[in-house]
Amino acid sequence: MTDARITDTVTDIVLVRRAGRLWMASFGVALLLTLLLVASIVVLLVRGVGIWGIAMPVAWGFAITNYVWWIGIGMAGTFISAALFLTRQGWRAALNRHAEAMTVFALAVSGLFPVLHLGRPWFAYWLAPYPDRMGLWPQWRSALVWDFFAIGAYVVVSVLYFYTGLIPDLAAVRDRATTRGRQVFYGLLALGWRGEAHEWERHTTLTRMLAALAVPLVFSVHSMVALDFSEGLLPGWHSTIFPPFFVAGALFSGIAMVVVLSVPLRRAYALEAFITDEHFDKLGRLMLAAGWVVTYGYAAEVFTAYYGGDRYDIAMVQQRMTGAYAWLFWSTIACNSVAIQALWWRRVRLCRPALLAVSLLVLTGMWMERFMLIVTSLYRDYLPSSWGMFYPTVWDIAFLAGSIGLFALLFLVFARLLPVLSIAELRRRAAAVPEATP
Amino acid sequence: MMVHGYLAQFADAPALLDGLRRLRTRGYTRIEVFSPYPLGGLPDPVGARRWPIPPLMLGAGMVGGLGTLAMQYMSAVVGYPIDAGGRPDASWPAFMPAAIEVAILFAAVAGFVAFLAGAGLPALYHPVFEVAWFEEASRDGFLLLLRADDPLWDARGSMDDVAALQPLRHAEVAT
C-alpha cells in the first residue's frame, strides 16, 4: 500500500466521512449512560458512599472492582504500543493508535472510582504531598499512597505517549483539512509539525525512550494495584503471587478489549487492509497465553493455601469454591480459563464473531474475578460474628453501566476526531516491508 | 522580496537522498529535508545532529526519584513521624514505589519538553507553509529545502543547482 493511500484512507475517516447511523445510535446510548454516571456522581456527592451496597464487613464492592477492571483494561494499550514496539513487532502499527486511546480512556474512567470511594472526594488532594498548615504528610508505607503515585504517573505518561505519536498524524490531517475551523483545530494540535529530518530524529528518540519507560511503568502500576490487596492481612489477599497475577489479568482483559474495539472499528471504516486476520490471530494467541498465566494464578492460590496449611487460608479457598459466592468463582473459571481454550484453534481466532464472543466472555470474567477476589475475602472474616453478605444497590449498577458509557463515549468521539490508525507508523512499515500489508 | 530558500519535491526517498548528496558535494550545508516518515541514511548535519533527549530524561528521572526519596525522608522522619508497630521512621523499602513512579514521571515529562525544544515546536508558522504543495510532505512527498542563509547561497546559481537535480517540482520560498 502506498503512502498516499494510507494517508488518504485514514484522514478521510476524520475529514470526509460523515458519522453513520450506527455511530449516532451508539453515541446516543453512550451519552445517556454517561449522563446516568454524572447523575449518580451527584447523588454520591450529596448522600455519600452509603448509596452503594458497601457495609461491614464487605467495605469494598463494585467501585473498587470497577477501578481494578478499568485500569487493567488500560494495560494492553501500553503493552501493544510499547512492548511490541521495543521488540520490533511491526504489525502492531495497525493497532497501536486505538489501543493507546483505549488506555487513556480506560485510565480516565478508572481514576474516578478510587477518588469517589474516598468518602469525601473533595479532599482527594490530601493524597498529594505538599506542605500544608496542618503539618500532615501522606503515609508512605501505605499501598494506597503508592497507588496514587502509580496512577498519577501512568495517566501523564500515557497521555504524553499517545500525543507524541499523534503529532505527525495531526499534521497530516491539518494539511488535508478544508474548512477553516478544522485547519485551526488540527493546526494547533499539530504544533506546526513539518516532517523535517530533525523533528523526525527527535520524535523517534522520544518515542523509543517513552516506550522503554512505559513498559516498566505499566508493570509497576499493576503491581501497585495488587499490593493494595496483598499488603492487607486477609486470607486470599495476603499473597505474593498477586502482583504478577494482576499484571497478567490486566493484559488478558486489555487484549480482550482491544479485540472488542478493533472488530467494529475495522468493519465500520472498512479497514480490512490494515487490521488483518493476522492481527486477530495474534491477539487471540496473546489472549490465550495471558489466560493461561491467569489460570496458573487461580491454581497457585488453591495450591498455596493447602501447601501452606494455614487454616484460614484453606477455609477461604473452600468458601470461595463452595460458599455463597461459589457461582462467582465457577463463572470466573468458565469465562477466563475454559472459554479461552477455543482459541487454540486457528479457525476460532480467525472467525471474528467467535473471537468477539470469547473476548466479551473474558471481559465479563475478569470483572467477576476482581469482584470475587474482593468479596470472598471480605465476607468471611476471621471472626464468625462479623460475617456478612454484599448486596449491590441500584447505584452500584448505575456506576458500572455509567463507566462503560463514559468509556464508549470517549472512544466514539476519538474515532471521529483523531486518526484512528497511526499514519506515520503505517507509512514507515510500508517503506520497511513493502510486500507486507501494513 | 526576501527569500527563505528554495524548495524541491522528489519522487521517492532514494531520489531525495541522491539530490541531498549532490547538493552537499557542491558544498551546501544548510539543507532541510521533509518526509512522511523518518528516513534512514541521512548524512550527519541534516539528520542526526545529536540532541541529548535520553541524558536529559535520565537527569530528570534521577532528580524526581532521589527528590521523592528525600521528601519522604523529611516528611516521615522530621515532619510527621508515625510509629507504626515499632517500624523505623525511615522505612526506605516502602519509600521506593513512590520514588520509582515519580522518577518515571519526571523522565517522561522532561523527554517531551526536550523533544519540543529540540524540534523547535510548537512553531505554528513557518515560511515553507506558504508553498501550496508543501502539504505533500505529510502525505507521500519527499521534499528538500536549500536555505538562503547557506554560505554558498547565490540567488540565481543555487536555484539552478536545485533545478539541475530534476525534482518533480520546485519553487522559491519567500520569508
* DSSP letter, residue A18: P
Per-residue pLDDT at A435? 62
User: Which of B17-26's residues contact partners 24+ apart within 8 Å by CB, and which partners?
Assistant: B17/B41, B17/B42, B18/B165, B19/B144, B19/B165, B19/B167, B20/B46, B20/B144, B22/B165, B23/B144, B23/B146, B23/B161, B23/B162, B23/B165, B26/B152, B26/B161
CA distances from A291 to A73, A275, A437, B120 (A): 14, 23, 29, 45
From chain B residues 97-156, the ones with a CB under 8 A of any chain A CB are 97-98, 100-102, 104-105, 107-109, 111-112, 114-116, 118-126, 128, 134-135, 137-140
Per-residue pLDDT of A352-373, as tens digits, reads 999 999 999 999 999 999 999 9
Q: How far is CA A245 from the centre of its chain?
A: 16
CB contact under 8 A, A187 and B36: no
- β pairing state of B142-147 and B3-10: antiparallel
Handedness of CA B42, B43, B49, B53 (dihedral sign): positive
The DSSP string of chain B is --EEEEEEEESSHHHHHHHHHHHHHTT---EEEE-SSPPSS--HHHH-----HHHHHHHHHHHHHHHHHHHHHIIIIII----STT--SS-HHHHHHHHHHHHHHHHHHHHHHHHHHHHT------GGGGSGGGGGGGTT-EEEEEETTSTT--HHHHHHHHHTT--SEEEEEE-
State the amino acid at position A337 in one-letter form: S
C-alpha cell at B109: 515529562
Kindly state whether A291 is in contact with chain B, defined as any CB-CB distance less than 8 angstroms. Answer: no
| Chosen from B10, B46, B49, B115 to mutate, greatest number of chain A CBs within 10 A | B115
Neighbours of B40 (CB within 10 A): 11
High-pLDDT (> 90) share of chain A, %: 60
C-beta atoms of B47 and A197 within 8 A? yes
When pLDDT is cut at 50, 70 and 90, the band that residue A94 belongs to is confident
- Flag whether residue B168 sits within 8 Å of chain A, measured between CB atoms: no
Using a CB–CB cutoff of 8 Å, tell me whether B175 touches chain A: no
Q: Left (φ > 0), alpha (ψ -120 to 50) or beta: where does B5 sit? A: left
CB A275 within 8 A of CB A10: no
C-alpha cell at B88: 523505623
Average pLDDT over residues B2-20: 85
Residue with cell 474548512: A179
pLDDT of residue A438 exceeding 60, the answer is no
Contact A149 B101 (CB under 8 A): yes
pLDDT, one tens digit per residue, over A303-322 is 999 999 889 999 999 999 99
For chain A, percent of residues with pLDDT exceeding 70: 99
Q: Categorize the per-residue pLDDT at A253 as very low, low, confident or very high, splitting at 50, 70 and 90.
A: very high
Residue B108 has its nearest CB partner, among A3, A160, A191, at A160
pTM of the model: 0.93
Average pLDDT, chain A: 90
Selecting from A193, A200, A224 the residue whose C-beta is nearest the C-beta of B97 gives A224
CB–CB of B42 and A195 under 8 A? Answer: no
